[in-house]
Structure 1
Amino acid sequence: MSRTALIAGAGRLPAALAAALDTPLICALDGFAPEGLAVDQVFRVERLVPFLRGLEEAGVTRVCFAGAVSRPRLDPALFDMATAQMVPRLLAAMQAGDDATLRAVIGIFEEAGFAVVGVEDLAPDLLPGAGFLVGTVSDADTADATRAAAIVTALGAVDVGQGAVVAQGLCLAVEALPGTDAMLDWVAQTARRPDPRGARGVFYKAPKPGQDRRIDLPTLGLDTLRRAAAAGLAGIAFEASGVILLDRAAMVTEAQAQGLFLWARQP
């Protein structure tokens, strides 16, 4: 019987995905335990080849990556010989950027004989299709979302980020290495609209152009929504079928309470 291994990172996405699977093997990179989910195996990059062999012995035929991780600090003393031979490949990918690193990781798992599947393959309900989940938009909001989408496309083409905030046609902030929360907090504390009585602005989120959608899809949750409200925005727009929504029902309720729209926008 085939089995799915969930390669889990930090956050709540792994638990949401595990709920949609039949007895998955939960594996976590050392130092990046998922929230609310018991871990079956903890592994390190320095012992990647033995870890892959262990997955095969456990009957795993496919893997799914879910959750947040950052680049771990590697300990040269921990490498086994087989994994050490992968170091030049991994280092070259890391130097080329996040997308290249993710492609290299996927390639390693596929070469080891595992099918790599994405969230949309296992739990498509986590990625809303086109439409309004709550609220409506004005013409100004539509224009701001269109402008933000163009900015995110440009950012993604150079592997920078997956989000931007636009108000009254002006870019207030873009997502970079510090992440979405830091960007929205900055908008709340610093950004000023040209017309204080004009359009409040839109936060837009989307995958990077051409990224492999089996891994690192953008995710939205309650914390992000509350930060968008604190930043004084009119709502959140995101690429339909391209962004994971955690706690959808709770987000809709909270958005209604905060007076924000949630819009799965057709790209």
Structure 2
Amino acid sequence: MYPDQQIETFLRSVGGFAVRRRLKSDPPQPLAPSQIFLCYVPAPDQERLLKLFDFAVYPVPLLGLGDFDGRGRQFRHSEQAVVDALRQALVGDNSPGRTFGPLKQRLSSVSDREPLLLPPNNFFLSHERRLSDIFRQLRSWQLQWNEAAGELHSEMFDADKLPKGLRGQEKKELYLDFRSVVFLGARPREFHGANREVNSDAGLPELMQLLRSLYRFGVPLPEGYHHDLQLEGGKEFAGLDFDCCVEGQVEAHGSHVNVYPNDYVRAERKIGKK
């Protein structure tokens, strides 16, 4: 159903549109497009399509279009069947489209308590599992959106427990991963490291990384948004491993580590690992 050339055409179309809109007004406010749905026909190889877009788009399966009619022809070839499937998927009762509104409201709040904003490849659930495993279940509709935090652990922090992140009487409930790394969302005035601009004819990896930095499940993210990763008690990172989308596995050193939505890792000192 989804050969490489077709998938690449989809990504280049979406990524190229986003890039052109950004270049027109440096960047546009608000970000355009304002939301991205990926409507697809369910198929055995659908993960090849979903994986390329990763967690940047909101996945909408068009149920029934992969079935066959009495003549042995898939319903995806019928214009009326496609229209009906789109209508049911986007506006039908309990449809994916109906779920998107509340999800967009959640993601737009940019809250420390929103698990869907965490960097998926650098939040460790165990030695073997990452948050990206949960995200993959969400995008294939094996889990409901309100079940994302089921395996996550959080604690209340104050300035004594997190002296490099909180001030005075400030208190926040924050997520910790399996390695006891604390994920503190950057304050709006601390957003930095603007997304690197690319041309609309850039390579597929560059377009994919740009989309991942701009959107989470189809919802635009603020420019420069990231998580400030710290250790409790002001301890410093001394060679803890992270997965950077650009440099691969790296050791991080220093008081904190910045991780962006596309899992780009920035630290006071990074050492690449072969």
In the superposition, the TM-score normalised over structure 1's length comes to 0.27
Larger helix fraction of residues: 1
TM-score, normalised via structure 2 length: 0.27
